[in-house]
Homo-oligomer: A and B are copies of this chain.
Amino acid sequence: MLPIVQLVHRPGILDLGWGHPDPTALPVAALRRATDATLTRYGADALAYGAERGPGPLIEWICARLAHIDARHPDPAEVLITSGASQALDLLCTLMTAPGDTVLVESPTYHLAVRILRDHPLHLVAVPSDADGIDVEALTTILKQLAKRGRRARMLYFVPTYHNPTGVCLSLERRRALATIAAEHGFVLIEDDVYRELSYDAPAPPSVWSIAPPGTVVRIASFSKSLAPGLRLGYLTADASLTRRLIGSGVLDSGGGLNPFTALTVAEVCAAGDFEATVTRLRAMYRERRDALAQSLRMYLPPGCRFTVPGGGFFQWVELPEGVDAATLLPRAEQTGVSYLPGSRFYLDAARSNTLRLSFSLYPPHQLTEAARRLGEALAAIR
């Protein structure tokens, strides 16, 4: 039997390596209503080559939504509907870079975004980060070093809000500083903003896009976390001149937009109030899971382990005691019935090997507690 889903269950293992939503959280009934409503309301228009930018109803909803959950809302000409965040990043690499261009990447960072960047002929340079996110002073030093070698940065990829894997939110001061530096040096900030809707304590901070000078930031967003990843639907906000450049590309022109039927369907989900209802439900569910995991880690992890509870997103980053290698620990952890991703996966270089990423999105609280207990047991066994 060929598989349908990406997730692979390993019997006996609570696998906190997967950054996937709990299947029970996916809005099946809302999607059923929305597909039906879409085909009733739009008929054949829902199945035709779509407007290159994406369908008007979804663009208008996004503009209105961002007025609520960000510090600035875009004009429709600043929005482009994409087939998810991954495809948006790939498209930006294809259309905004030339071979050999230098692209800065916050480190640690989302490991699969690095894979997308590496599929293009780019020169990647790591920018270190600390407990407050990307290190702006280190960035300045790197830019100077690049300039000495006659190089300029073309883009910087980063996840400032509920970071994957660290859970950190970049401070407002650093957001402002980054925007200023990017504008001065003439590179584009690629702001991966896919966790904005999943805030558990307070509203998400303003996006860098919302506070930066025009043309400085492309913000990539997604319905994968707030609705369902299988829809492969996302959007970006950027300067109107850039969205025009993207719309003028061969892929968007020849295909008639990137995912028009699904985009109209999601517009119906939103119009019916099911988006708001879904994220409200997800926030409550994932908040409870985040808290259960944090509480259990406090209970079961041995002294010397450190972690900061994230304000949103899917991920709990854990620092093990110095000298403990999370990759070496992994087989032992899996023997006790728990798995995770070693932190080294998320670094471009100079990996801190005593780190790991736990995702609290896939399991209910009692299983997260058991996972923490097993992790503690594995750690105790190697001491």
What is A's interface to B at a CB cutoff of 8 Å? Answer: 1-7, 20-21, 23-24, 26-28, 31-32, 35-36, 39, 42-53, 55-57, 59-60, 76, 83-84, 86-87, 90, 94-95, 98-100, 112-121, 227-232, 249-251, 253-262, 264
Residue from the list B31, B98, B116, B254 in contact with A86, Cβ < 8 A: B254
- A sample of 26 inter-chain contacts (CB < 8 A) reads A2-B59, A3-B51, A5-B51, A6-B52, A20-B49, A23-B44, A23-B48, A31-B39, A47-B228, A48-B229, A48-B230, A50-B230, A83-B87, A86-B255, A94-B119, A95-B119, A113-B254, A116-B250, A117-B250, A118-B250, A119-B251, A121-B121, A230-B261, A232-B262, A259-B262, A261-B262
Distance, CA A43 to CA B31, complexed state (A): 10
List chain B residues, Cβ under 8 A from A60. Answer: 2
A295, chain B: closest CB distance, angstroms? 27
In the complex, besides A87-B258, A116-B249, 17 extra interface pairs with C-beta distance below 8 angstroms are A1-B56, A2-B53, A2-B55, A4-B260, A6-B50, A21-B48, A23-B44, A48-B229, A48-B230, A84-B255, A87-B251, A94-B94, A94-B120, A113-B254, A115-B254, A119-B250, A232-B258
List chain B residues, Cβ under 8 A from A117. Answer: 250
A49, chain B: closest CB distance, angstroms? 4
A29, chain B: closest CB distance, angstroms? 8
Distance, CA A59 to CA B1, complexed state (A): 11
List chain B residues, Cβ under 8 A from A31. Answer: 35, 39, 47, 261
Whether A255 touches B49, Cβ cut-off 8 Å, given contacts A250-B112, A264-B4, is no
Contact yes or no, A90 B250, CB < 8 A = yes
Contact yes or no, B250 A86, CB < 8 A = yes
The 7 nearest A-B residue pairs measured at CB: A2-B56, A115-B250, A116-B250, A112-B254, A47-B228, A99-B99, A23-B44
